[in-house]
Homo-oligomer: A and B are copies of this chain.
Amino acid sequence: MAGRLRFRLAFWPPFVAPERMFETAELGRKLSKEEHRTRIDVARVDLLNLQSTLLQRGQPAALILIGGVEGAGKGEVLNRLFEWMDARYLHTRAFGAPSEDEAARPRYWRYWMSLPERGHLGVFLGSWYTDPIVSRVLGTSTDAELDRSLSRAVEFERALAADGMLIVKLWLHVSKRDQARRFRELEKTPETRFRVTKRDWDFAQRYDDFRRTCGRALRKTSTGTAPWTVIDAANARYRDVAVAEHLVERLRSAAASPTPRPPPAAPAIRTDDPITVLDAVDLTETVSREEYQKALPALQAKLAKLCRRLPKRGRSLTVVFEGWDAAGKGSAIRRIIWALDARQYRVIPIAAPTDEERAHHYLWRFWRHLPKRGQVTLYDRSWYGRVLVERVEGFAREQDWRQAYLEINDFEEQLVEDRVSLVKLWLHISAEEQLARFEARKKLAYKQHKLTEEDYRNREKRFSYEQAAHEMFERTSTEYAPWHRIAANDKRAARLSVLRAVIAQLERDL
């Protein structure tokens, strides 16, 4: 009997209790005109002062998400924020259906692109929560898919919070009855009638489903660093005061936290185990000129053919080149682009970030240049700088580059899910070969510009770089985006290997 009961509980449509999370926001709170005025006046002074403190101290940005059911006054709250704060450092973005350009990139692209820069305040109306919730309610996704989307949201927010961003998530709640009343009120006046759409009424019919799904979403994404705050929005005066005072509280604690980031710690390099996975690369392989001249055009033709199929399949190709200076990244890239139509590819060399880029999370600049589907993108160095040069040179704190492994894996997973064929190549040469190439460059007039003092300095740090690369391979060689270590002491062999690795990945994916 007990077994049978369990069976029924597990597999039958369960009895669904009303979502209780929002009950605390249905207490019919109200505020008198006078109390509203007094408290808002206090909060406004605080908000303006806090805003300018954050800005002057160059603190990370604050992001305010305004979510909630229709009719709770999300747009009105947004307008209030404009009234209370300094609009020059307040940026708002309302997300509707994605545009063509947005739809041609991973789902989070438009959110990344809308993030506020350091010291500024971003306000989002609608967010990465909207689609997952609506799909679940409309039945086009399952609970498992909803949960998966929610985990992604948590990861995204965690990355931003780790970068110091303050994330305030407000959920404006009204009861089913108050929602319907509000819609009817809006419909009465010609000036506001347009605000209630057929979709709003359709969704109102599903109020209970929304309530349940939203409750689940809020619970699963209320993390320590980015909790949800549910606000009783039935009464506009109470709602506004609650929003203002909550913002003051959150901004104040952000302002109180130690601002000037501690100086980067000395990079932690293991010295107990000098053998790295790079030592296993066989650098003796060579390819004769004849062999090369026969193989190259055939491989290029094959690559060209595969790349032409990308747009039709709605797929992209992204190739990441990392490796030692003078390992031949540039010449390998040229062997690839020779096979392609200039309209289809882009080479993105990664240099030092600009000040706009520095005012964002370090992955922002890679999101920024993400191509649309159908394109081939070749990165000459990449987001791995965080765990290579930034780590070894001490530009990033240990906790930051350690966190980066996770963030990079998540980033690449999103690319692969968005139908990007991702090929990551490490071009490996021995220390001796590198020195020989540096010396040869000195003699070749049109290569002299490529050689700087820094190259020699970096060379001395080879051991540290080897350790960092080793750990990078260990932590970021995922099943969806493995690393290929290319033996590059022989240039011809390297170029052919690069082409073969790219072709193999495309053949698997297409």
Binding site for B on A (CB under 8 A): 41, 44-45, 47-49, 51-52, 74-75, 78-79, 82-83, 86-89, 92, 94, 96, 99-101, 125, 190-191, 194-195, 297, 301, 304-305, 308, 330, 333-334, 337-338, 341-343, 346-347, 349, 351, 354-356, 372, 380, 445-446, 449-450
- With both beta carbons as reference points, the residue of chain B lying nearest to A333 in the complex is identified as B87
A79:B449 contact, CB within 8 angstroms: no
Question: What is the CA–CA distance of A99 and B373 in the complex, to the nearest angstrom?
Answer: 12
- With both beta carbons as reference points, the residue of chain B lying nearest to A90 in the complex is identified as B347
B342:A125 contact, CB within 8 angstroms: yes
Question: What is the CA–CA distance of A45 and B341 in the complex, to the nearest angstrom?
Answer: 26
In the complex, which residues of chain B have a beta carbon less than 8 angstroms from the beta carbon of A52?
Answer: 449
B194:A347 contact, CB within 8 angstroms: no
Question: What is the CA–CA distance of A349 and B337 in the complex, to the nearest angstrom?
Answer: 42
B82:A347 contact, CB within 8 angstroms: yes
A354:B356 contact, CB within 8 angstroms: yes
Question: What is the CA–CA distance of A83 and B191 in the complex, to the nearest angstrom?
Answer: 62
Question: What is the CA–CA distance of A82 and B49 in the complex, to the nearest angstrom?
Answer: 52
A322 to chain B, nearest CB (A): 15
- With both beta carbons as reference points, the residue of chain B lying nearest to A339 in the complex is identified as B191
Q: A304-B191, A380-B87 are in contact. Are A334 and B82 (CB under 8 A)?
A: yes
Instruction: List the 7 shortest-distance A-B pairs measured between CB atoms, nearest first.
Output: A100-B100, A88-B349, A94-B343, A191-B301, A75-B342, A101-B101, A45-B446
Of the A-B pairs whose beta carbons lie under 8 Å apart in the complex, a sample of 11, sorted by A's number, is A48-B446, A74-B342, A78-B342, A86-B449, A87-B349, A92-B346, A92-B347, A94-B343, A99-B100, A191-B305, A354-B354
Question: What is the CA–CA distance of A305 and B193 in the complex, to the nearest angstrom?
Answer: 11
Q: A49-B449, A82-B334 are in contact. Are A343 and B96 (CB under 8 A)?
A: yes
Question: What is the CA–CA distance of A89 and B49 in the complex, to the nearest angstrom?
Answer: 43
Q: A82-B334, A337-B79, A347-B82 are in contact. Are A342 and B94 (CB under 8 A)?
A: yes
B356:A75 contact, CB within 8 angstroms: no
- The contact of A92 among B44, B96, B304, B342, by CB within 8 Å, is B342
Question: What is the CA–CA distance of A445 and B45 in the complex, to the nearest angstrom?
Answer: 6
- With both beta carbons as reference points, the residue of chain B lying nearest to A331 in the complex is identified as B83
B99:A351 contact, CB within 8 angstroms: no
In the complex, which residues of chain B have a beta carbon less than 8 angstroms from the beta carbon of A297?
Answer: 191
Known: A92-B342, A96-B343. 12 other contacts (CB 8 A): A41-B446, A75-B341, A79-B338, A82-B334, A82-B337, A89-B349, A92-B346, A92-B347, A125-B342, A125-B343, A191-B301, A356-B356
- With both beta carbons as reference points, the residue of chain B lying nearest to A347 in the complex is identified as B87
Question: What is the CA–CA distance of A94 and B308 in the complex, to the nearest angstrom?
Answer: 16
In the complex, which residues of chain B have a beta carbon less than 8 angstroms from the beta carbon of A334?
Answer: 79, 82-83
Question: What is the CA–CA distance of A100 and B102 in the complex, to the nearest angstrom?
Answer: 10
In the complex, which residues of chain B have a beta carbon less than 8 angstroms from the beta carbon of A355?
Answer: 354-356
B342:A79 contact, CB within 8 angstroms: yes
A234 to chain B, nearest CB (A): 20
Interface centre among A330, A445, A446 (most CB of B within 10 A): A446
Question: What is the CA–CA distance of A333 and B86 in the complex, to the nearest angstrom?
Answer: 12
A49 to chain B, nearest CB (A): 7
A239 to chain B, nearest CB (A): 15
Question: What is the CA–CA distance of A343 and B93 in the complex, to the nearest angstrom?
Answer: 7
- With both beta carbons as reference points, the residue of chain B lying nearest to A77 in the complex is identified as B342
Interface centre among A194, A195, A343 (most CB of B within 10 A): A343
A427 to chain B, nearest CB (A): 15
A327 to chain B, nearest CB (A): 15
- The contact of A341 among B86, B195, B341, B450, by CB within 8 Å, is B195
Question: What is the CA–CA distance of A380 and B496 in the complex, to the nearest angstrom?
Answer: 56
Question: What is the CA–CA distance of A476 and B191 in the complex, to the nearest angstrom?
Answer: 36
